[in-house]
Structure 1
Amino acid sequence: MTIWLALLLDWRLGEPPPPLHPVVWMGRYLAWADGQRRPGWEKGQGAFWLLVGGLLVGGLAWTASWLLAHLPAYLELPLLAILLKPSFAFRLLLREVQKVEEALGQSLEAARCQLARLVSRPTCCLGPNEVRESALESLAENLSDSLVAPLFWFVLLGLPGAYVYRYLNTADAMWGYRTPRYQAWGWAAARLDDLANWLPARLTGLALLGSLCWAALAREARRTPSPNGGWPMGALALYLGVRLGKPGVYLLNPQAPPPSPVAFTQGLARCRRVGWVLALTLGLLELL
């Protein structure tokens, strides 16, 4: 019941304050480690500092789990749920994406600023259609990355699994860029994040599509450079019957029209329903 209680905490209380948020501390460590690089074999240095942080995160999570296991069940369950909650963010994701459409009702510039909170791509030149496309893509991909995957790894490996996954995903978000600065340094972070997300992304994609159209979904997923992101994004594009894409990089369901405000609302509702179904199912697997 840990997952179910953690979901309730997420929906009612949202995120912990930044000074207490474990993911914020992961980001601070990764920023510090990035400053420790020296001339030389950057791929090895990046992998070393990634491993050091992973051992620290995993060790702290294992220690917390071990300590809680020695408490009475009526204390262990709520405390474990409180510790699990920061490893995923469902309500925040839905709220931030909804704000993009609300900002479009005010001005395009306001929507671009809100979208910049969700994506790393430049938003200054995006039109209304591209803003909606980017927001829906971020929603679909983060449904896997920020909800399904951490709970999936919690079911398999407990609290250490959820937190080591969240650490790898944060490292990929900060280091996993194909730029001269991070191409070598972030190689290990990007590859391990790809590995950790392989199955959750495909489960999320199939759940979003709502049918076993594996061939169509696989075709769309191959259009993206990411081995995982195309699965939930392609599934949402096919389900809504809209085009989604990153300018100059890829297009998903390219023959379809861009998302309208109605399609945007439908996409948000679809991700909300699928997120709840997958999260509650993983909670049931935890019990079994």
Structure 2
Amino acid sequence: MNRRLLLAPKAPALLLATWLTVGVAGSALATPWAQVKAPSEGPTQAIGGVANGCIAGAQALPAEGEGYVSIRRYRNRFYGHADLLHLVRDLARAQARRGPGLVMIGDLSQPRGGLMSSSHRSHQNGLDVDIWFLRAPSAATANRDTAHQPDPPSMVSADGEGVSALWGDDQQTLLKAAAVDPRVDRIFVNAAIKRELCASDGDKAWLHKLRPWFGHDAHFHVRLRCPHDSSECKQQAAIPAGDGCDDELDWWFSAEARTPAKKSAAPIPTRPEPVTLAACQPLLSTH
């Protein structure tokens, strides 16, 4: 998850808990996990949580496949659990059947997971993936336009109140396909996009998994449930019941949510990095 973070003092308790668990963008961190260039051998195991974990025996997502292209591969963040790779392929194939264009797949995890040096505090145990809303006409175009460049265009209007003219059936269909998949635990998406979907007619049960979060206007962040083969995976707390089209969503459009906290003269305390899990230590010592 990337982009700005604006935490209000009265933000719902669930959101604060999510921030502590999921993580945010920040300055570059010195992390040994970013120095690991290849996955470990052996069976695939998601270990720990999304913000303090790792992955053993990770699988690499190919650079291209039916209906998708993996972008920004210079980051070496295209590894994950087999369930995650299967999900990406399934979503991309479904979109390919709808028409031309490739789904752009962003960051998954590093070769052995763990903390990244930039952009994410989550994506650590091979169960997270960023998927761009805008499809690319070709793999060459996608790689050219996203290499060391700003994100693709936003799906949210300039005032942040609704969706932009780019939002359409293709984006909603892709998002819904991910949300209804039983492997998916939750999806982070801009609040304006969720509000647009809440205002639409028809079934809203699938909106339950859509969690509003800052940024996420050009892409959505998919997180899987802990796989059955990963006994040391730490499942995130369950999402509250309901479609989420309620007061919690309204808060994201309040003055409180949109007003950055005032700068203080006092130095901001440094949040200590979580201690590497014992089960993850061997993955660092054998690379």
TM class by shorter chain equals: under 0.3
Larger relative helix fraction: 1
TM-score scaled by length of structure 1: 0.26
Larger relative strand fraction: 2
TM-score scaled by length of structure 2: 0.26
